[in-house]
Amino acid sequence: MSVLPPVKNRLPYYFLSAAGLSAVLFFFSTGFYDNWPLTWLAPLPVCLYALEAHAGRAALAALAAYSLGALNAWGYLPLPLFAASTILNAVAFAAAALLLRSLVRSGQAAFAPFAFAACWTAFDYVRSLVSSFGTFASLAYTQALNLPVIQLASLTGIWGITFLLMLVPACLAVAWHCRRQGRGCRSVLLPAGGLLAAALLYGVCRLYLPAAGPVVTVGLAAVPATRAELRSQDAATVNRTLQGYSRSVDALAAAGAQVVVLPEKLAFLAPENREAGLALFSRTAARNRVVLVAGLSLQQERLANRTVAFAPDGSPAAAYDKQHLLPPYESRYTSGDSLAWLDAGGTAAGLAICKDMDFVRPARDYSRQGAGLLLVPALDFHDDGWLHARIAVLRGVEGNMAVARAAQWGLLTLSDSRGRILGLTATDAAAGEATFLGQLPAGSGRSLYSLTGDWLAWLCLAATVLAVCRLRRPR
């Protein structure tokens, strides 16, 4: 009969198992993957190991787990940017794991999981403030298809989802550790279990409450185009693109569309063809009696990434310049700083463009002022279509708004104020023109989150400071 070696001798095996298993779980639940249940388990092996191991090994396991898990995005970002962001995120994860370990070892087991979750959520929030990618890297977006959980965003923003994602595995790890030490684990499990149950109950109830706004028939369209065609200033090329979209609008309007949304930067309008291009879309909107929203590159005194909207009578209804530009690809453009409103099928609608949705604002500003619908032209990069689409879905839940998003080289999506995806079509150039028509119930805007702001994120920052201070208490 074999005898297991002492725990100290088994720690190297535990290190490889913990770091490897967490890395695999992070790899297949984040980035381009969509296995949301795995995200809840990803921190668990590292948390279990951190409670048993030396601090240095615990930190190394956390660093390795997050870094290896992030390899699912290899090649998506430029290598220096990928390396810098991965190292920063891995260090933050290691710091949270060490905080968890230290609090448990100082006799504060009940508080430790909350401090772990608060530490990571605080990092997630601060990163969104200083990063040019905003909230793009948040783990909260992995839960886009977990409808009961994402309703929490209407109260807390995505920070509440991030907090729960870290709280649950940390509680399980600490409870298991306490049980092995012969101590009770109810004080660890009950508060976290109650919080999770309350979040799920709220989510289920919100899903069954009807949206307050009117139902709008929205059409989305994307005509195949190469990068060269989108940038071309050749009059014939631009006219061919605009005529193609005009025919798409005709078809969607004939099928009953009230609002039609087209992609971002679908054509480049230089000063010599600007008026002709805008006039063509104006006539298209008037001919079909629809609200027409289109993204264009417009060269005037400055180069603008602009969304223009036309009312059903063909008159200009609104114009919006992209606020969050993508460096370095959009360094030539001048960013905007104001909101744009229009009436879309009887509801107040706001305009945004692609990367704007990676940030809390301007979506939260629209919601605070009562927007029930966001109309979003976008331009993705093929593989990241769903990655960006699910971010837009969460923005809608945060602000109690429906979202219509039309992305060139991505997806056409309609999602309601509860995050239910009511339509999704890939805009693959090989498949030809892509269109979608759907009934979209508008929200009412003004969620608790949009009215109160990032209160939970600030609470997590305070809890993290408190946790660090409590480490100075004697055991």
Q: Which CATH class is domain 7-209+454-470?
A: mainly alpha
Answer whether 470's CB lies under 8 Å from 108's CB.
yes
Of the pLDDT bands very low, low, confident and very high (cuts 50, 70, 90), residue 473 is low
Average pLDDT, the chain: 90
Task: Write out pLDDT tens, residues 2-59.
Answer: 444 444 555 567 888 888 999 999 999 998 888 999 999 999 999 999 998 888 999 9
Task: Write out pLDDT tens, residues 135-178.
Answer: 999 999 999 999 999 999 999 999 999 999 999 999 999 999 88
Q: Rounded to 5 degrees, what are φ and ψ at 210?
A: -70, 150
Kindly report, as residue ranges, where domains of CATH 3.60.110.10 are found in the chain: 215-443
- Give the alpha-carbon dihedral of 369, 371, 375, 378, to 10 degrees: 40
Answer whether 423's CB lies under 8 Å from 436's CB.
yes
Residue 40 and residue 176: Cα distance in Å, rounded? 16
Residue 138 and residue 400: Cα distance in Å, rounded? 20
The single-letter DSSP state of residue 4 is P
Residue 219's pLDDT is 96
Task: Write out pLDDT tens, residues 97-121.
Answer: 999 999 998 888 889 999 999 999 9
Locus of tokens 């150039």: 429
Residue 42 and residue 80: Cα distance in Å, rounded? 26
CA terminus-to-terminus distance, the chain: 40
pTM: 0.92
Residue 93's pLDDT is 96
Residue 402's SS3 state is strand
Least confident segment among 91-95, 119-123, 297-301 = 297-301
Kindly report, as residue ranges, where domains of CATH 1.10.1760 are found in the chain: 7-209+454-470
Determine the average pLDDT of the residues in 323-352.
90
Q: Which residues pair with 320 in a beta bridge?
A: 307
Of the pLDDT bands very low, low, confident and very high (cuts 50, 70, 90), residue 224 is confident
- Homologous superfamily (CATH) for 215-443: Carbon-nitrogen hydrolase (3.60.110.10)
Residue 207 and residue 361: Cα distance in Å, rounded? 24
Q: Rounded to 5 degrees, what are φ and ψ at 138?
A: -65, 140
- Give the alpha-carbon dihedral of 55, 56, 61, 63, to 10 degrees: 110
Task: Please determine, for residue 186, whether its predicted confidence score (pLDDT) is greater than 50.
Answer: yes
Of the pLDDT bands very low, low, confident and very high (cuts 50, 70, 90), residue 416 is very high
Give the strand order in the sheet containing 347-351: 341-344, 347-351, 373-379, 402-408, 411-415, 421-426
Determine the average pLDDT of the residues in 67-78.
88
In the chain, the amino acid numbered 295 is G
Task: Please determine, for residue 295, whether its predicted confidence score (pLDDT) is greater than 70.
Answer: yes
440: nearest Cα among 360, 340, 345: 345
Q: How many CA atoms lie within 13 A of 472 on its CB side?
A: 4
Residue 438's pLDDT is 94
Q: Which residues of 196-209 are buried (b: 16+ CB within 10 A; e: fewer)?
A: eeebbebbeebeee
Residue 46 and residue 20: Cα distance in Å, rounded? 9
Residue 177 and residue 181: Cα distance in Å, rounded? 6
The single-letter DSSP state of residue 153 is H
- What is the distance of C-alpha 70 from the center of its chain? 17
Answer whether 365's CB lies under 8 Å from 340's CB.
no
Of the pLDDT bands very low, low, confident and very high (cuts 50, 70, 90), residue 429 is low
Residue 75's pLDDT is 81
Q: What percent of the chain has pLDDT over 90?
A: 68
Locus of tokens 């055991």: 475
Residue 43's pLDDT is 96
Of the pLDDT bands very low, low, confident and very high (cuts 50, 70, 90), residue 230 is confident
Contacts of 118 (CB under 8 A, 6+ apart): 163, 459, 460, 461, 463, 464, 467
- Give the alpha-carbon dihedral of 352, 460, 186, 36, to 10 degrees: 30
Residue 13 and residue 20: Cα distance in Å, rounded? 10
Residue 274 and residue 271: Cα distance in Å, rounded? 5
Q: Where are the beta strands (DSSP E) in 229-363?
A: 259-261, 268-269, 291-299, 303-310, 316-321, 341-344, 347-351
Residue 217 and residue 215: Cα distance in Å, rounded? 7
* Alpha helices by DSSP H, 28-134: 36-41, 44-50, 55-69, 79-105, 112-130
Task: Please determine, for residue 235, whether its predicted confidence score (pLDDT) is greater than 80.
Answer: yes
